[in-house]
Chain A
Amino acid sequence: MHPILITIIQRLLLGLLTLFFVSIIIFSSIEFLPGDFTQAILGQAATEETVAAFRRELGLDQPAYIRYFDWIGAVLQGDFGSSFSGRNSSGVDRSRAVIDLVAPRLGNTLFLAGMAAIVSIPLSLILGITAALYRNSIYDRSVNALTLTTISFPEFFLAYLLILFFSSLWPVFPSLANVNIDTSLGERIYKCVLPALTLTLVIVAHMMRMTRAALINLLASPYIEMSQLKGISKAKVILRHALPNAWAPIATVIAFNLAYLVVGVVVVEVVFVYPGIGQLMVDSVTTRDIPVVQACVLIFATTYILLNLTADIIGIVTNPRLLHPK
C-alpha cells in the first residue's frame, strides 16, 4: 500500500480512538453527579416509586460499562435519550427527546458559523499573507496592533459595541436574532448580520495572526533564500516555492479557527438570543439537564476533532516526503 494511505489510515484510527475516549469522559459525567440527583430533578414531592422508576429508566441499576455501551449504541443511531426537564414529581413525563431539541438548533448554529466563516476565512488569509509579505511595514504593524487588541476583547464586549452602534444609536440591524423555522433566508441573513460580524472580528484577528506567523516561518526557509539568489521574482518565489509548502500550515490555521468559531458561538448566541446549540447548552447547564449537555458536548467535541483531523490529512496529502517516498 502507498505509505500515504497508511499514514492517513493511522491518523483516522487515532481520531476514532480519541473520539472513543472523549465519549467515555462525556458519558462518565453522570457518574459524578450527587447520588440524589434524581430526587432533585423530580422535585422533593416525588414518591420513592417515581424516583425508582426514573432510576430504572436511566439504567442506574446496571453497571456503568453496560450503560456506556447502551448509550453509545443509541447515540450512534441518533438517539441521545430524553431530556430531564418536563418531568415532575407525580411521575408524568412530558420530557422531549434530546435529538428533537438539538437538531433544529444545530442547523441554526451551522448557519451562523457558516456565515462568519465565509467572510472571515478569505479575509484573514489575504490580511495574513499581505502582512507577512510586507513584514515590518506600517501596514503590517498597524494590522498587528489592531488584531492584538481585538483578540484581547471578550466576545460579548465586541457584540455589545456593535449593538450599541448599529442597533441602538444607528438602528440598521436588529439586536435580537430570533429566527425560527418560518424565517425566510433573506431575513435570516439580515438578523444574523451582527452576530456573524462579531464572530468574524474575533476569528479574523486570530487567523490573520496565525497565517502571518506560519508564512513568516516558511519564508525564512533556506530554499526560499536560495530561490531569491537564483534571481526568481518575488511573485514567483511565493507562487512556486512558498505556496506548495504552505497548504499544511494554512489548513491547520483554518481548522484551528473554525474550531474556535464553534466555541465563540456560545457566547454570541446568548448575547443575541439566537436559538442555536450554544444557547441550548447554556440553558441546559443552568437547569442541570445532563442528557442535553452530553449531546451538546459530544457534538462540539466531534466537530473539533473532525476539523483537526481534516487539517492533518491535508497536511499529509500535501507533504512531498510522503507523496514521493524513497
Chain B
Amino acid sequence: MSTERDKKGDILLEMKDIRVEGFSDERWHKIIKGIDLTLHRGQVMGLIGESGAGKSTLGLASMGFTKPGCKITSGSIFFDGQDLIKANDEEKRMLWGTKIAYVAQSAAASFNPAHRLLDQTVEASLNRNLQTKSVAEADARNLYEQLQLPDPNNIGDRYPHQVSGGQLQRMMTAMAMSPRPELIIFDEPTTALDVTTQVEVLVAMRNIVEKFNTAALYITHDLAVVAQMADVIKVLRYGHEVEEAKTREMLVSPKEDYTKSLWSVRSLEKPESPSDDFVISINNVDAAYLGGSKVLHNVNIDIPRGRTVAVVGESGSGKSTTARVITGLLQPITGSVYFNGEALPPALKDRSKEQLRRVQMIYQSADTAMNPRQTISEIVGRPLEFYHSLYGTQKQERILELLEMIELDESFYDRFPGELSGGQKQRVCIARALAADPEVIICDEVTSALDQIVQEGILQLLLRLQQEFNITYLFITHDIAVVQAISDEIVVMYQGAVVEQGLKSKIMSPPYPDYTKLLLKSVPEMDPNWLTNLVDKRD
C-alpha cells in the first residue's frame, strides 16, 4: 500500500530550513532548528518525537501558523505552489479550513460549547461558500456515517458536551474533512483516549484519509500508532530532524542510534517467577469516594513478596483507587487490606509510623511529586529523619549512598528539582521511597510521562533494586510493553472490578476473558499491518 501511495502525487507541501523560536523567560528560545519537509499529495507523514522535539510546532508551522509567543524566523514554506511565509494573514486565512485543516489533541476544548456540532462541522465550508448549507449538512451526515458515529443523522444536533471524547475526536475529523482539504494536520489526536477507544478513532481516521486521498501530517509520540497511520516517518529530536524513511524501512532497519533506542524498551522482558508468600492481600474491598457511587466492587488481589504485580486497565477501571485503599488515603466501605497477614487500620491517621514506612509510593509525574522549593538532599533526607532518626553526617552519608544506588552522583545533593530532567526526577522519587526501607513500593504509572529511552533506564533500575533488596512492586500501568518488561503477575481491572489475576504467561496467552482480549487486542503493535489485520478479522 505505502509504496503505491508515495508515488501518487506531485509535491503538495515543501518546507525548507524552517526555524521557529518561542519567547519565554525574557528571551527567545529555538524550538525548530532548521528542518526540511516534503509532502506529496495523498501522502501521510508521521512526525514522531519526544516532548520538546518540536513536532507540534512544526505541524502548525506547515500552515504558516505559530502559537502566540512564537515566530518563524527563517526558511520557506510552499503549499500547493503558494509561499506561506510571504502570504499575509488574509491569504493564509483563505487556505485554512479549506485547503489545510487541523485536528487538535483535545477535542473537548476545541469545540465551541455554545454551538451545535453540525454547525461547527460545516462552518468552514459555508464560510467560503464552497457548498450550500443543505449540501454541506448532508455531506457532514455522510461523513459522520463513514466515521462510524452513532445515529449519524441526528448526532450533529447535539452540543459538544453531550457526546463522548472518542466521538468528539471523530467529529473533529469530520469537521476537518468537510471542505475536502488537501492536507490535514493531526496533532496527537488519540493521546487523550483510552486504548480501546483509540482503535476505533484510528480506523475511522485512516479510512477517511485514504478514501479522499488527503495528505496528512500525523503528529504523535507513539511509534506503534504512527506505524499504522503513516506512509513515511520523520523522527525529530530537540528541534532537529534525526532521520526520515518509509514506515516499513524504518521499522525494520532504523539507521540512527536515537531511533534504535526508541525501539529498545519494547524488547525488555523480565522472566516471571511464581511465589505464594503474600506480603499484601486485599480482601473483598468495596470503596467509594465521598458522596459518589461505588468505584471498587469486591476487589481481591494478592501480592507475592519480592515480585512485581502489574495492575492494568483503562481510566476509570479503579486501579489508582485500589492504590489509595492500600495506602489508607481512601477507607474501604467493606473488606480490608492485610500486610504480612495482619489487617492494616483502614484510615491513614490510625496507622503507625512503622506501618506507613513499609509501604511507599512513587507517582506518575515526578514534577508534582517533589516540592520545587526543597533540595534533593532535603527531599531524600526527610524520610531518613522521620523514620530512622538519622541526622547530621550519618544522614548525609546515607543520602549519598542512596544517590549512588539510583546512579546519580553527589553533584545532585543540593540541587532543586527544577534543575533535573524528567528521568532524574523520577530517580530521586525512587530514592525517597528507598530511604524509608520499604517492603512494598506502589508505582503509579511511573514511566508513562517519560520518553522511551528514559523509561528503559528507570525500568532497569527498578528491576535491579528488586533483586538487591527483595522489594515488592505493585505496578499500575496502562502500557502493555511496560507490563511485559517488569511484571511477574498481572491483574486486569475493568470498571472497578478485577477481571482476572495470574502469572504473566497465563494472562498474556489465550484463552482470554472478553475484556482482557479487547484490551490486549487494542494495544497498537509496531507491525504496520496490525490495524489492517485487526479490522479484517472483525469483518
Contacts and interface: CB of A to CB of B under 8 A. Distances in A.
A232 interface: yes
A221 B161 CA distance: 16
B388 interface: no
28 contacts: A222-B104, A222-B106, A222-B109, A223-B110, A223-B111, A225-B110, A226-B110, A226-B112, A229-B65, A229-B101, A229-B102, A230-B96, A230-B123, A230-B124, A230-B175, A231-B94, A231-B95, A231-B97, A231-B127, A232-B97, A233-B93, A240-B115, A241-B114, A241-B115, A245-B113, A324-B161, A324-B162, A326-B162
Given A222-B106, A226-B104, A245-B114, A231 B159 contact: no
B94 A227 contact: no
A154 interface: no
B172 to A, nearest CB: 8
B402 to A, nearest CB: 42
Contacts of A241: 112, 114-115
Nearest to A241: B112
Contacts of A244: 112, 114-115
Contact of B97 (A229, A240, A320): A229
A2 interface: no
Nearest to B157: A324
A96 interface: no
Interface in B80-122: 93-98, 101-102, 104, 106, 109-115
Interface centre among A229, A321, A324 (most CB of B within 10 A): A229
A233 B90 CA distance: 8
Nearest to B127: A232
Interface residues of A, number: 21
A141 interface: no
B128 interface: yes
Interface string B416-447: 00000000000000000000000000000000
Contact of A236 (B98, B106, B127, B162): B127
- Ranked nearest first, the 7 interchain pairs of A and B with the lowest CB-CB distance are A231-B97, A230-B97, A231-B96, A244-B114, A222-B109, A230-B124, A223-B112
Interface in B125-141: 127-128
B391 to A, nearest CB: 49
Contacts of A223: 109-113
A217 interface: no
B536 to A, nearest CB: 35
Interface string B59-70: 000010101000
A225 B106 CA distance: 12
A236 B161 CA distance: 23
Chain A contact surface mostly:
helix
A7 interface: no
Contacts of A230: 96-97, 101-102, 123-124, 127, 175
Q: How large is the interface on B (under 10, 10 to 19, 20 to 34, 35 or more residues)?
A: 20 to 34
Interface in A193-239: 221-223, 225-233, 236
A232 B96 CA distance: 8
A230 B63 CA distance: 11
Contacts of B162: 324, 326
A321 B161 contact: yes
Nearest to A219: B68
A321 B94 CA distance: 32
Given A222-B106, A245-B114, 11 more contacts: A223-B113, A225-B110, A226-B112, A227-B123, A232-B124, A241-B114, A320-B113, A320-B114, A320-B159, A326-B161, A326-B162
Contacts of B113: 223, 245, 320-321
B229 to A, nearest CB: 21
B90 to A, nearest CB: 9
A221 B113 CA distance: 11
A182 B209 CA distance: 78
B381 to A, nearest CB: 41
A317 to B, nearest CB: 13
A28 B74 CA distance: 71
Interface centre among B102, B112, B123 (most CB of A within 10 A): B112
A228 B111 contact: no
Interface in B14-47: none
Contacts of B67: 225
Interface centre among B97, B102, B114, B115 (most CB of A within 10 A): B114
A230 B110 CA distance: 11
Interface string B240-281: 000000000000000000000000000000000000000000
A305 B110 CA distance: 35
Interface in B158-189: 158-159, 161-162, 175
B246 to A, nearest CB: 29
A231 B124 contact: yes
A112 B523 CA distance: 69
A232 B115 CA distance: 15
Contacts of B65: 228-229
A228 B90 CA distance: 11
Contacts of A324: 158-159, 161-162
Interface string A110-137: 0000000000000000000000000000
Nearest to B158: A324
A240 B175 CA distance: 17
A231 B104 contact: no
A231 B109 contact: no
